Each structure stands twice: as structure tokens, then as C-alpha cells.
A and B are shown apart, each in its own frame.
Chain A
Amino acid sequence: MSADALVSAHDLVKKFPARGGRSGEAVVAVANVNLELVRGETLGLVGESGSGKSTVGRLLLRLLRPDAGTITFDGHSLERLGTRAMRGLRPRMQIIFQNPYSALNPRMTAEEIVGFNLRPLGLAAREHRERVLAAIRLVGLGRDFLGRYPHQLSGGQAQRVGIARALVSSPDFIVADEIVSALDVSVQAEILALLMDLRARLRLTTLFISHNLSVVRYVSDRAAVMYKGRIVETAPTRLLYRSPKHPYTRLLIHSVPGAQADTDVVGRERDREELARELKEYPADSPLVEIEAGHWVQSPNGSHANPQVSP
């Protein structure tokens, strides 16, 4: 593990009781996930529904307790920390949610919503108000937004309030969980631009969760692809895009709408079948192997010769 890793997780496991509560059967949402974020970097976590990416995000913030594995934040071990001790750390690690409307309390004004996250810092009233206003301004909204309720905001504005809320306590680490997925494609750009500007200015360390590889490409330094609860490939973003190895990564890239504009429907279907076939050949619990600098992939034949810990 790198010395200047701000956040890291080792062999993280999380299970949920199966739907219907059948005894014995549990859904393994996250299995043996290892990852690390160096101060100031943005790691993109890509996967579709059921991949476990949102669960990983919540585990890193200890909003869920892991069933196994360790989570470390700035030297603190989180997995066994009590609720009270965790509360002290929370202002330093925040989350932005996917759906701006359900993530904001419908009966609180923007000022109250953002201000609530500042309460744990116990500031004097005037400083509290000033910092809330500063956070609102930071996300490009004016003072007149302080008194507005979520239903009076557009999707983009509501999401900005969500971002202001996450940043008001000056956190070191942010989990951005699908923050543009619920927005119109035309609004996504402004939110992404905002995020990129803020993380540069505030030196944020970010876990950017998304199902959309194209979006991840814009904001992340490194990307990790998750499939069925495990990380199957991870690399610096450009490298991942340029030379993906794992069939699931390639399937994701292939599925980007408009990406295969030159192939016809038949060709695309054939490609998909081919990739699906390849995917079946990878054992689920195959360990990650470093094939080139910084580029780790699951090994296809599941050789357990030298199980590596991925960075």
C-alpha cells in the first residue's frame, strides 16, 4: 500500500440477505475488493447494476459495515470503529448522491440542507451562515437560492445543492455516486465541469462511481471496472480506454451508444456474443495480475500462482 494513500480498502466483503429472506442464501454484493486512493486523485469505479460499485462507495464511508476486510482513512481503521467515533471523522469524508430530488430533504431550504452538514463542526452562528453561503456560491448558485426548496430547483440546480452540502465541511474525500446519471445529458456537462473545477481547487480525493464509461473517462485519473462484486480490471483511464483487456471492460466500451457507429446491427450482435463467450471463461474469483505498469486485470485461466494485491 502506498504511503500517501488517503483511503484504502483490503479484501472487502459485503453480503446482503437474499430477497424473501430465505435462510442461508445471501447475495454477495462485494467480494475481495482491494483499492486505494492517493491524495488528490480521482478514481473512477465503473460497473452496471449489481456490480457492487455503490456498495463499495458506502463501505468506504462506513455507511455500511463490511463483513470482512479493512478500510483505512488517513491512517484510521474504520471497519470496527464505533458510531460515535465515526461521527467525528464524517465531516472529512462526504458523499454526493445520484438523484438530486430524493437526496435533498423536500421540506428544508437549500440553506438548511447545506447548513445541516456543518452542524457537527459546532461553529458560531455567523461563521456558520457565512460558510453555508460560501458553499452555495462555490457551486455557482447565488444568494437567492438559499431560501429555495428542492421542488423549486431544476435537476442541475438541485444537484449543485447536493454538491454544496458535501463540500461545506471541507472534506478531504468525496464519493460521487452516479451524480450525473439522473440528469439530462445536456445538464451533465455542467455538473461534471463543476466537479472537475472544484476538485482541482480544493484538492479533493474522489471516488467517482458511474455506469457510464464515457463519463468516467472525462473525470478520472484511474478507473476500476467492477463486475458481479469484484474488480476485474483497473488502469490509468486513458490506458484502460486505449487497450482494455478484460472482456467485460471491452463489452462496456463496445456498448457506449454511438461508439460502434460504423458497425451494423448484425456485426454488433456478433461482437457482443463473442465477448459474452469470453467472459464466461473467466472464473469469478480469479485474482488480478499486473500486466503492465499500473494496469491490473483478472487472469483468464484463474492461475493462483502469485495472487497480487491490486493497488
Chain B
Amino acid sequence: MKEMTCAACPKGCKLRVDSDLYEVSVSGNECAVGRDYAVGEYTNPVRTATFNVRVRGGSAAVVSAITARPISLVKILPASRLLKKLYVDAPIKEGQVLFSSLLGEKIIATSSVGKVEKYE
């Protein structure tokens, strides 16, 4: 049994979801959208996650990034921790694939960062 707040509309119904071997049952929802939301949240909640990725040799210290598709909620925090250890090299164009498989998910840049030549 799991209790949750419906996020499908501003009403925010309090949902109770339960399951046996064969089906997932939902109560507390006031509409059909709420049922679908509850089943999705109960079985596999997914979110589109956004991150900052550190940049090497760029005009900005970080580039903003987004997952290519909604990813499983349980992957988001591990992915963010992993990204803290990784770099990408400038230049970066908006829409460029930064990592093709970070925990199996594609990460795409949502801003552009120019390259800064270093003269030493």
C-alpha cells in the first residue's frame, strides 16, 4: 500500500494505491487521469531530470543538461552523483549529446558553451 498526492492537476487528490498479483487498485482519485497517474507512480515513476555538467576549457563553468527521455526516478540521484565526477570538453552546442549512456540514459545539453583558448 502506498499513499501519494496526485500531481496530474492542481486539485492534488490524496491517492491510495494497493496491488495484488493481478492488478493495481487506486482509491481517492476523482478522475480517470488520477488513476493512470497513480498506476504509473506505483509501478515505475519516471521524470525528466535536468543537471549541471562541469565543462573543461569553456567560457562557462557548467553546461545545463537534460535527459533525453523521462528516466526512472531511482536513477536520478545516482546519475547526479556520477555527473559530479565527470567533465565535458568545450565547445558545446545546444542539443549536443553529452553522454550517450549514463546509467543507460542519454544526456543532452540545453545550452551552448564556447571554447576559451588558454595562452600560457
Task: Determine if chain A interacts with chain B.
Answer: no
B-to-A contact residues, CB < 8 Å: none
